[in-house]
Structure formats: C-alpha cells, structure tokens
Amino acid sequence: MSRSRQLLDRYGAAAQVQQQGVEIFVVVDEEGSRFDRAVRAVLRATTTDGPGVWEDLLGASKSLRWRMATHPQPISASPALLQGVESVLHEANSLRGAVGEEDLLDEIAGAAQRVAEVDPGFGSTLRESIVEVGAQDCLVIAASVAARDGIRGWLSDLGVIVVTASEVRTTSSVVEQSYVVGPPRFYAHPVVAAPASYGVTFLVPEWFGDRSLPHSVLSDYAEGAVKVSARIFDVGERLAEYHPPPQDDDAAEAETALLPRPSWSSGLHAVVEVGQDAVNARRVVLAGELAMWLDSGKIRSFDPRQPPGERVTYVEVDSVGPGTYLLLRPGATEHQALVDIALGELGARGAGIAESQREWKARLADRLRTRDLVMVTRSLRDDGVKAVAQVRAWTDPALIRPQREMDFRLLLSWLGLSHEPYVENAAALHRAILRASVRLREELEHAVSAADVTSLERDGTLELEAPMVGVSAMLATRVLAVSPFTRRVARHEVRVPEPDRSGRWLE
Amino acid sequence: MYQGEPARHARGTGENTDPSYPLARLLLADSELDLPGVPLTWIGSLLALGARLARLVHGDGHRKLVVAVSVPRRDFAAAIIATGWSLAREPKILGSPLEVLRLLERGQGIRAVNDKYVVTGAFGKLHEAAGTAFFAESWWHLDEIRAVTPLRTVPAATRMRRPNPGSIARFAHVDGAWDVRLAAPPSDLALIGTRAWLELDLQALLGVEGDDGPADSLSSLLLPDRDGAASMGARVLSCTRLAENLPLPDATMCAILDGSGAIEYLSDIDVPAVVCVVDRSVADDRAAETLVGRRVVRGAHFSVSGDLRWSPPRGIEAMAYTEPL
C-alpha cells in the first residue's frame, strides 16, 4: 500500500478516535483485588517511616502488580507472572522474624499464592472480544516485549496481530479495533492520539484505580487539541462482595506510588566537598544495572528508529527520559575528549588557543560577577549583540564562542579586548572540534550499523568499538528512569556510568 | 481544503484565476506509479500554513515565531509546509537574459534556464552578433534563454532537465514566473530532519483534483539543494549533521524542523520563523516538552487562528509563540 494511502487511513483513524473516544473494559478480578489490597496495606504501614526493610518486598509486589495488569494469559502460559509471585513469596519469607507485622506478611503471601492459582479474568474477555470482532480486523497492543511475546503465544491459534505500543507505528494497515492490554497510564499518548484502528478498547483489571488517558503535553496548549474521552464498562461476574479502589482525584497519585520505581536511595549519598567544582545533576538509571549522574547540555544519543547513517545524534539532557538510548564514553565526557583531540591536532598552536579561550571567558565571567546581569545584557544589546540571552553560557568552556561571529566580535570589544587572536583562535578550535566530532559520529554510525540492534533493544546495553584516537569503546545504553530531583555532584563524577542495582524492580 | 491564499494574492501571468480553485481538493501520490494519488484534506491546510507564514514573516523584527503542529504521522507534513512557504514567497526580480549576460564577467558563476534545461557553471563569453553565449561549458542560443541570474560562487558545470509547471504551479499562480523561480529559487528556507525520509517525501507528487494537467513533484516546487541539482532553493539538512551546519545562513527566513531529533536544535536556530512538526505516533514526548517549556519560560502568546488566521484541520494540533531572537 502506498504511503499516501496509509496516511489517508491513519488520519481517518485519528480523527474518528478523537471524535468517538475510547472504551475501557474494567474486568472483575477477585484474586488480583485481594493481592492489591494486601500491597496497599503494606504501603500504608510503611508510609510514615519509609520503606526501610520493606523496600524489596514492596519492589517485588509492585512488579508483580504490573505484570498482573499486563499479562492476561492463563497462568500455565505465563512464566513471568509465576516468577513475579515467586519473588514476592521469597521477599515476604526473608522478612519473617525481622518485622513484627506477621499478619501483613501472611496476607500478602497468601494473596500472591492465589494469584498463581487462578487464571486472570481479563484474558478471557480479551479472547472473546477478538473472536466477536474477527481476528483479522483486530490488533492487540501489549505493554512490553515480554508481555507481547506471552500474549502472542497464547493467541496464536486466532492468528491475531500482537504488537507492543512502539510497534504500532510500523504496522502497515489500519484495522477496525485495537485491544490494549492494561491500564491506559501504562501507555504513552500515541496509543490514543495516533491509533492504527478506528476503535480503541483498553482492558483493565478492576483493582487498578487510575483510568485516566495519556495525552501529550502539547495538547494542553494547542489549538485544535486532541482530547480523547473514555467510556467505562464493567465486565464480568462477581462471587463475593467487593470494595472498588478509590476513583477520586487521588487515584492517579495512589497508583503512582504503586508503580514499579527505582529506589533512588543509592543516589542520595552523593557528597560534594567544599571548594570542589560541582554541578547540578539528575540520577539516571540505565539498563545493565548501571546508573550515572547527568548534568545539563547536550549528550550523544542513538535512535534505532532512524534509517542507517542518521542514527547517531545529540539530544538535550533535559529531554533524556525512559527509552532514550545514550552513547557514553565510560570514564570521561565525550566533549572533553573531542576538545583534547582537537587541541592535539592543532599541534603547537593548541596551547596558545586554549590560553586565549580561557582569557576572554575569564574576563566575561569577571564582568558577570561584578555587574548586574540585566545591566550586562542591556549594555550588550545596545552594542548590537543579538544572542544576549546566552551571555552566561558563553563562560562555559564547552561553548567555544557565540554562534554568530558578529556577536563574538562585539562581545570582545565590549570586554575591552582586541578581536585577534581570539576570533581566529576560537574559529580554529571550533573547526578542529567539528572535524573530530564528524569523524567520531561517522565511526559511531559505522559501529552502530555493524552492531546487533535487536540485542540492544532486548538487553538495553551494547558496547561499540570506536577506534578513534583518544576515545575508547563507547557504550550504548537505554535509560530506564530519571530521578525527579537534582543533587550537587562533583563535576568529575558526572556522565560516568557505575554499577547500581536500583533499577532491579523496573519492568 | 486549500484556504485560498494563492488566489487572493494572485500574481504573475498565471491565467487561471478561477475563484472556485481555492476550494479544490489536492491529491498526493508517493511517485509517478501512484498517480493520480489520494485526496487528503489536510494537505491544503498545511500548504496554506506555509503560505501564511511566508506572507507574514519579513525578518526585520527581533523575535522569532515558533509554530508547532502535531500530526498523526510525520510523513510529507514538513515537505508540504515547506512547499507552501516556497510557493508564496515573492519571486526575485531579474533583468532580461541579455541584460544580465552583458554585465557578467568571464569566470563568474551563472545559472540559466532555457526550454529544456537548467544549467549552472562559469560564464565564458557573449557573442551577441551570432546570437549565442558560452557558459557552463557549452554554447547557448540567446533567443532560447528564458532567465539568467549571476551567482556569488562559481559552481561546477551542472545541467538538469527543466521541470515543467504542473497543476499546483498554476493553482498557486507561480507558473508565470516559473523560469525566474528556476533561475533564482526562493533560498530562504531550511528543511531539517531525517534526510533519507525528507528525500523520499520530496519525490511525492501533488495535483489538483479535477485538473487534467500533470501533477508537480514537491522537489520541482521546492528545488532542494541536492547533489547534481542545477537549481538550489530550499536547503535540506540531516539533524545528525546539523551541528556542523550551524549557524544557518543569514538569508534563512524559515526553518522547518521535522521530528524530535530536529526540534532538539530549536534553541540553536535563530531565524524569524520556525515550524516544528511533531509526530504523534512517536511515544517520546520530548519534542513537545521542549516546545511547551520554551513557550512557558520565554514565549509570548501568539494565536494560530487569531494572529496567523490559520485553523488546524481535525487531527492536527497547533501551538505557537514568539520569543526573542
């Protein structure tokens, strides 16, 4: 099918879902509800004093809860779910004798045991719905690769297409109906804002409290915003009396506390000594049981969705999030390596250039220290400098010079410096860094094209050979989580991956 | 529906001033094989968006206008907005071919158009008595030359077939100044994204439903600066190589950033108009967060429907703001 024909269907599907909204099937799940109550009870009991010794039991329980909401197939075909139950039983057992609340442990272990014995209810709802619509007119969307593989095996007799959310964009044709397994908040906005079907239905076990739909941050500010509504249907029959989870405004917050999350504790001990060069940084949990501190600026990234030759790029650190692939140079920042290579290439001139760069930056930093920022920017603007908002950034050694040469000349005059040798030196350094950067990018593109991207997507990390002088092997790694907080961290500790197990309960 | 800009601002010698034209539906085809193409209602809207910006932006201010549109899929959107911009820019004013040739010096760069070719190269000499001129390594008949422009640089001798104006060129009333466009195309636009995808988009053909004339390829309307092209209008840049191409030339008035990889560079691109195409089929929301963050921190309100007089069609979201250049 031609791309323009596909587009006709995709725009049509988006418009129809926007107009009609989506459906949420809330399915009775008595065993799941019992386990959910037990987890909430543990969470409540530990709210005041923090998780402490309960941290691993909570981690394992949240992880199991996530799997219960995303693996609908019968227990016999659901090893991930059984493994999750095992972890909860193991963690509960290891707390026996160590904590006083034996009743909490009994209840959570008993409830987990039942989860391993009764098939999830929303599985049969999914199967029946597909049969009713017709497998060839359906698409099943799973929350992870593991969930997709499990569902695919279980539904293979129907011949229905099962994909992860990120694979939806590559499915070729638009179908009648998508069934999305799990709560809407487990999915990003494309599942409702760029669907591959004219109807979208979520299947959610009843104990999951938050039924809000994902939406892009752009929609809050946009004209013609894509706002999708949901109609909720209760499905299934109940044997016992049931107290549904709260459906008020706090539901989303309560569910957030119950999602698998990294234990940020490993990042909290960072200490900066007085007088040490420090920066604000976020803690980033990486695949392969690694974590690191990440400051501001740009970082090299790898985008497997792009065509070969255009996969290696830079991203702003602020926009790094779960799912971003980073290309790291273990041990030191890439920029410093490039500057060193560039200065080395410039040979005898290198030292003089480094010195002249230090000189004008120091003078600018001095002006900024002694004068009011507003006065400085006004004065520079009066002199004709355009990018005055960047004035602070220009003191950063990583920024070679203002982007416009005219801005640089005007700035130098304002600093009371002659234009030369600063302009020529900065230009020479800039060119040398660009050359080094181009070479490194080409080498990385080459390494990436030779690498096994499937294994990177599966394992989350991959070592790449970049034989360029001064740059040792690069590590491609997927970001699992970014801390909501920043800390003052010594500059030399930033962007250096280190072993860290705080992501072990993440899916 | 195309919202009528080109017809109201009709210019050139295009004969078609039929008032029903603005209501025409446009057809998009991936390539010659897919003609006549598929009617897509939003194409006219995106063309109109580019055209409105082209008329609004003059580059004498101190603010940049940022317009973000989110689409269900990125395909063709950036290329079509770029085409709208390019079609609505005023054509340059060139002297008659003979006048221009008389003023050229030997060795100077030149681009010329006759009924078959667009050529660039170095100027050799003018032989008025014989009715010929030598440039781009060949002799040319003066009476066949339709437009000539001197170039600042001296390109290698290049020759490409002259594209003929099709139904969109007529629809947008640029057919009258077609040869001037080929000789001196609007070169104030940069299209930035995944180059391989943009190149594929530019091969698409655009036609007017019910018009018997041939469809125009987007590249014949935009004249992208690809290798071997004799006429170079819009610059097409890969975001992976963008750092090496910054800053954009001073003449750049509009940059169209296709996808999050390009939108990463929003703060580095200081041109009067920036259009960001956000692909909603991609889960990662960083492009949207970048845009909203800048609007909240640095931006001043700008309404697409009020200030730009452009309403997004169903399925397309739009947000705009201005910020200091």
Residue B8 pLDDT > 70, yes or no? no
In chain B, % of residues over pLDDT 90: 70
Mutating which of B63, B280, B296, B311 best tests the A interface, going by the most A Cβ atoms within 10 A? B280
CB-based contacts of A186: which residues, under 8 Å, 6+ apart? Answer: A66, A69, A70, A143
* pLDDT value for A387: 82
* pLDDT value for A411: 92
* pLDDT value for A494: 82
What is the band of A242 on the pLDDT scale with cuts at 50, 70, 90?
low
Mutating which of B240, B268, B275, B323 best tests the A interface, going by the most A Cβ atoms within 10 A? B240
Mutating which of B218, B305, B317 best tests the A interface, going by the most A Cβ atoms within 10 A? B317
Alpha-carbon gap, residue A390 to A399, rounded angstroms: 10
Contact list, B311 vs chain A (CB under 8 Å): 223-224
Residue A340 pLDDT > 60, yes or no? yes
Q: What is the mean pLDDT of residues A233-255?
A: 74
Higher-confidence position of B42 and A296: B42
Residue B200 pLDDT > 80, yes or no? yes
Cβ-based burial of A319 (10 A; exposed 0-12, middle 13-18, buried ≥19): buried
* Chain B residue with the nearest C-alpha to that of A319: B286
B277 inside 8 A of chain A by CB: no
Q: Determine how many CB atoms are found less than 10 A away from the CB of residue A362.
A: 11
What tokens appear for A492 in the block?
């030399």
Contact list, A13 vs chain B (CB under 8 Å): 72
Residue B12 pLDDT > 70, yes or no? no
Residue A278 pLDDT > 90, yes or no? no
* pLDDT value for B15: 31
B102 inside 8 A of chain A by CB: no
Residue A244 pLDDT > 80, yes or no? no
Q: What is the mean pLDDT of residues A309-336?
A: 80
Task: Identify which of A223, A319, A438 has the shortest CB distance to residue B305.
Answer: A223
Q: What single letter denotes the amino acid at residue B41?
A: T
Alpha-carbon gap, residue A208 to A252, rounded angstroms: 10
Residue B16 pLDDT > 50, yes or no? no
Q: Average pLDDT over chain B, rounded to whole?
A: 88
Distance to chain B for A165, nearest Cα, Å: 8
What is the band of B21 on the pLDDT scale with cuts at 50, 70, 90?
very low
* pLDDT value for A374: 86
What is the band of B6 on the pLDDT scale with cuts at 50, 70, 90?
very low
Instruction: Tell me the residues of chain B between 176 and 215 that have a Cβ less than 8 Å away from chain A.
Output: 194-197, 204
* pLDDT value for B9: 36
Distance to chain A for B128, nearest Cα, Å: 44
Residue A274 pLDDT > 80, yes or no? no
Task: Identify which of B239, B264, B295 has the shortest CB distance to residue A319.
Answer: B264
Mutating which of A197, A213, A216 best tests the B interface, going by the most B Cβ atoms within 10 A? A216
B325 inside 8 A of chain A by CB: yes
* Whole-Å CA distances, B79 to A129, A172, A445, B206: 41, 22, 26, 11
Residue A270 pLDDT > 80, yes or no? no
- Give the best-scoring range by mean pLDDT among A67-71, A221-225, A234-238: A67-71
B294 inside 8 A of chain A by CB: no
* pLDDT value for B19: 36
Distance to chain B for A88, nearest Cα, Å: 31
Higher-confidence position of A277 and A108: A108
Inter-chain residue contact B238 with A310, CB threshold 8 Å: yes
Inter-chain residue contact B70 with A8, CB threshold 8 Å: no
Residue A19 pLDDT > 80, yes or no? yes
Residue A120 pLDDT > 80, yes or no? yes
Distance to chain B for A319, nearest Cα, Å: 5
pLDDT-wise least confident of A329-343, A370-384, B91-105, B152-166? A329-343
Q: What is the mean pLDDT of residues A444-458?
A: 77
Contact list, A311 vs chain B (CB under 8 Å): 240
Q: What is the mean pLDDT of residues B297-323?
A: 93
Distance to chain A for B99, nearest Cα, Å: 36
What is the band of A438 on the pLDDT scale with cuts at 50, 70, 90?
confident
Is A23 in contact with A228 (CB distance < 8 Å)?
Answer: no
Residue B112 pLDDT > 70, yes or no? yes
B288 inside 8 A of chain A by CB: yes
**H helices of A21-143, where?**
30-47, 55-70, 79-95, 102-115, 121-133
CB-based contacts of A479: which residues, under 8 Å, 6+ apart? Answer: A284, A285, A286, A287, A320, A321, A322, A323, A324, A325, A326
Higher-confidence position of A439 and A48: A439
* pLDDT value for B18: 35
* pLDDT value for B271: 94
* pLDDT value for A502: 79
Residue A42 pLDDT > 70, yes or no? yes
Q: What is the mean pLDDT of residues A257-267?
A: 75
Domain residue spans in chain B? 5-89+186-324, 91-183
* pLDDT value for A398: 75
* pLDDT value for B98: 94
Closest to B201 measured CA to CA, from B173, B171, B185, B222: B222
* pLDDT value for A503: 77
Task: Identify which of A166, A303, A387 has the shortest CB distance to residue B283.
Answer: A166
* Angle, CA A492 vertex, CA A363 and CA A299 arms, to 5°: 85
pLDDT-wise least confident of A18-22, A386-390, A414-418, B79-83? A386-390
Alpha-carbon gap, residue A164 to A147, rounded angstroms: 8
Beta pairing, strands A278-286 & B145-151:
unpaired
* Chain A residue with the nearest C-alpha to that of B42: A11
Q: Kindly tell me the number of DSSP H helices and DSSP E strands found in chain B.
A: 10, 17
pLDDT-wise least confident of A453-457, B14-18, B217-221? B14-18
Contact list, A4 vs chain B (CB under 8 Å): 28-30, 34, 37-38, 40, 76, 204
Q: What is the mean pLDDT of residues B37-59?
A: 91
Inter-chain residue contact A11 with B42, CB threshold 8 Å: yes
* pLDDT value for B17: 34
Q: Count how many pairs of residues, chain A against chain B, have C-beta atoms within 8 Å.
A: 188
Q: Average pLDDT over chain A, rounded to whole?
A: 86
Q: What is the mean pLDDT of residues A332-340?
A: 73
* Crossing angle of helices A79-95 and A145-154, rounded to 10°: 130
Task: Identify which of A222, A311, A387 has the shortest CB distance to residue B319.
Answer: A222
Contact list, A378 vs chain B (CB under 8 Å): none
Higher-confidence position of A73 and A56: A73
Strands (E), A287-386: 290-294, 298-302, 312-316, 325-328
pLDDT-wise least confident of A55-64, A326-335, B173-182, B188-197? A326-335
Task: Identify which of B240, B285, B315 has the shortest CB distance to residue A11.
Answer: B315
Instruction: Tell me the residues of chain B between 122 and 141 that have a Cβ less than 8 Å away from chain A.
Output: none
- Interface confidence (ipTM) of the complex: 0.87
- Give the best-scoring range by mean pLDDT among A351-360, B31-40, B65-74: B65-74
Q: What single letter denotes the amino acid at residue B267?
A: S
Inter-chain residue contact B76 with A5, CB threshold 8 Å: no
Is A426 in contact with A408 (CB distance < 8 Å)?
Answer: yes
